[in-house]
Amino acid sequence: MTKPLSRSARRIQQAIENRGFDFIVKELPQSTRTANDAARTIGCDVGQIVKSLIFRVEDTDEAILALVSGNHRVDTSKLAAVGAGKLARADADFARRSTGFAIGGIPPCGHDQAIRTFIDESLLEYDRVWAAAGTPNAVFELDPSALLPLTSGVICDLRSDEDHPPTD
């Protein structure tokens, strides 16, 4: 018998279904709070983990969501250049107020308020990815091309140059 999902995980399952998708939220016994924890727990490459990073627009206090591969960092100047605005650090309280979820469980959808979302194109290099689903041990698997309609986001290059392989 399967244990029922926690309230937060059920909320994400419902958000997924409301968007017309059939992805299944799973709550795992081990932590998926960090990309490395998630990859280890799931048994996948760390690059297949969708990191959900919250930033704050300095002038407006608007929350911005950046979705990036677990093995990359976000270049905030690239994020600003694609329309996010001048960014400031978002602390854990801001992230929770903006999304309704704690860091380590922030999903790509189902937030308390609409959040402009930017999706790093490097996620599209994978056949399957895993995203957080509302708690530090809840995830769901999806085709990365579904991130665009799931989030109403924008696909762009957000990857830090430090993560790009050197060019000749």
- Report pLDDT for 89: 82
End-to-end CA distance of the chain: 56
Looking at the DSSP assignment, which residues form a beta bridge with residue 138? 27
The domain ranges of the chain are 7-160
Amino acid at 35: A
* Helices marked H in the chain: 7-18, 35-42, 76-79, 92-99, 147-151
- Gap between the Cα atoms of 98 and 159, Å rounded: 23
- Report pLDDT for 2: 66
CB-based contact 68:96 (threshold 8 Å): no
- Gap between the Cα atoms of 8 and 125, Å rounded: 29
- Report pLDDT for 66: 96
Amino acid at 40: R
Would you give per-residue pLDDT tens digits along the chain (168 residues)?
A: 568 899 999 999 999 999 999 999 999 999 888 999 999 999 999 999 999 999 999 999 999 999 999 999 999 999 999 987 799 889 999 999 999 999 999 999 999 999 999 999 999 999 999 999 999 999 999 999 999 999 999 999 999 877 544 333
Amino acid at 133: A
pTM comes to 0.92
- Report pLDDT for 3: 80
- Report pLDDT for 83: 81
Domain 7-160: which CATH class? Answer: alpha beta
